[in-house]
């Protein structure tokens, strides 16, 4: 499987505090069936003041340690970007590491506030579209407004937004409302990706294999493969230097 969203780089956001914790989380990801992983630390102005200038050296240092540790996961780098006015300046200054490409557009992994859909979201999405940037929306099933009114996702989908669910939501780790919202989105074939959003080996683990089992039970292997392998591979191929072939271990 390919994990396109997680917080595994140490001491850069609310993920692992130490290199040892990062390596433990990556070993867990390897055991869980992850073969490619895009590191996506928070870019959240005023809380986690990251951009490409802080993420790149931290990612490079981790990648070197992962190789030395013999962990069989191929790594790439992007960011989870919090919805904010600062995002416009960061994008114009090319300080946002993109999560890949989709239908010729650069893609940005966007996080909304957990409580609501901000005023101006549609305006921001329209502006991003004019810049040739498409949004991958992180964990919409955990947004409280969307839990209550899931149909409010449709104006975003009309603007080309792609949806990424959290594996733990499918495994029940975020409660029944998140699970029900995830199922509502999946039943309508609105989801493009499932990713771990892993933060910690025990408190916020990878859970991709658990999510894969749920997808198998609900929809079958074809949907599971599409959301955990095929679409993530298509999105991130430019980050890893090319698509994964059918006989690659990451496709198993």
Q: Which residues contact 228 (CB under 8 A, 6 or more apart)?
A: 1, 2, 193, 194, 208, 211, 212, 215
Q: What is the pLDDT of residue 249?
A: 45
Digit-coded pLDDT (tens) for 22-38: 999 999 999 999 999 99
Q: What is the pLDDT of residues 113-154, one digit of tens each?
A: 999 999 999 999 999 999 999 999 999 999 999 999 999 999
Token pair for 66: 């992962």
Task: Give the tens place of pLDDT for each residue, 84-100.
Answer: 999 999 999 999 999 99
Tell me how far CA of residue 16 lies from CA of 12, 142, 225, in angstroms.
8, 22, 29
Q: Kindly state the average pLDDT of the residues 169-173.
A: 96
| Averaged pLDDT for residues 168-179 | 96
Calpha distance 22→247 (Å, rounded): 29
CATH class given for the domain over 2-239? alpha beta
DSSP string computed for 188-227: TT-EEEEE--B-BTTTB---HHHHHHHHHHHT-HHHHHII
Say what the pLDDT of residue 202 is. 77
Q: Domain spans of the chain?
A: 2-239
pLDDT at 247 over 90: no
Chain-centroid distance, C-alpha 20: 23
> Is residue 252 scored above 50 in pLDDT?
no
Q: What is the Cα–Cα distance from 138 to 33, expressed in whole angstroms?
A: 21
CA 179, 182, 186, 191 torsion: positive or negative? negative
- What mean pLDDT, rounded, does the chain reach? 95
Model pLDDT for residues 194-206, shown as the tens digit of each residue? 999 999 887 788 9
Statement: residue 245 has pLDDT above 60 = no
């Amino acid at each position: 499987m390919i994990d396109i969203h997680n917080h595994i780089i140490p001491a850069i956001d609310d993920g692992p505090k130490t290199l040892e914790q990062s390596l433990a989380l990556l070993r867990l990801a390897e055991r869980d069936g992850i073969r490619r992983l895009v590191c996506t630390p928070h870019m959240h102005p005023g809380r986690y003041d990251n951009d490409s200038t802080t993420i790149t050296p931290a990612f490079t240092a981790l990648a070197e340690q992962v190789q030395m540790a013999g962990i069989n996961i191929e790594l790439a780098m992007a960011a989870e970007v919090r919805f904010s006015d600062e995002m416009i300046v960061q994008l114009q200054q090319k300080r946002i590491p993109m999560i890949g490409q989709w239908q010729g557009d650069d893609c940005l992994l966007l996080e909304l506030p957990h409580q609501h859909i901000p005023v101006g979201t549609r305006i921001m999405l329209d502006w991003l579209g004019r810049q040739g940037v498409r949004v991958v929306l992180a964990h919409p099933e955990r947004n409280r407004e969307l839990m209550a009114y899931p149909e409010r996702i449709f104006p975003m989908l009309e603007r080309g937004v792609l949806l990424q669910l959290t594996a733990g939501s499918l495994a029940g780790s975020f409660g029944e409302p998140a699970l029900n919202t995830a199922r509502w989105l999946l039943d309508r074939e609105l989801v493009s990706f499932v990713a771990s959003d892993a933060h910690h080996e025990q408190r916020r683990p990878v859970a991709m294999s658990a999510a894969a089992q749920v997808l198998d039970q609900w929809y079958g292997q074809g949907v599971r493969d599409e959301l955990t392998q095929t679409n993530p591979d298509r999105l991130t191929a430019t980050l890893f230097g090319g698509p994964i072939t059918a006989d690659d271990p990451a496709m198993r």
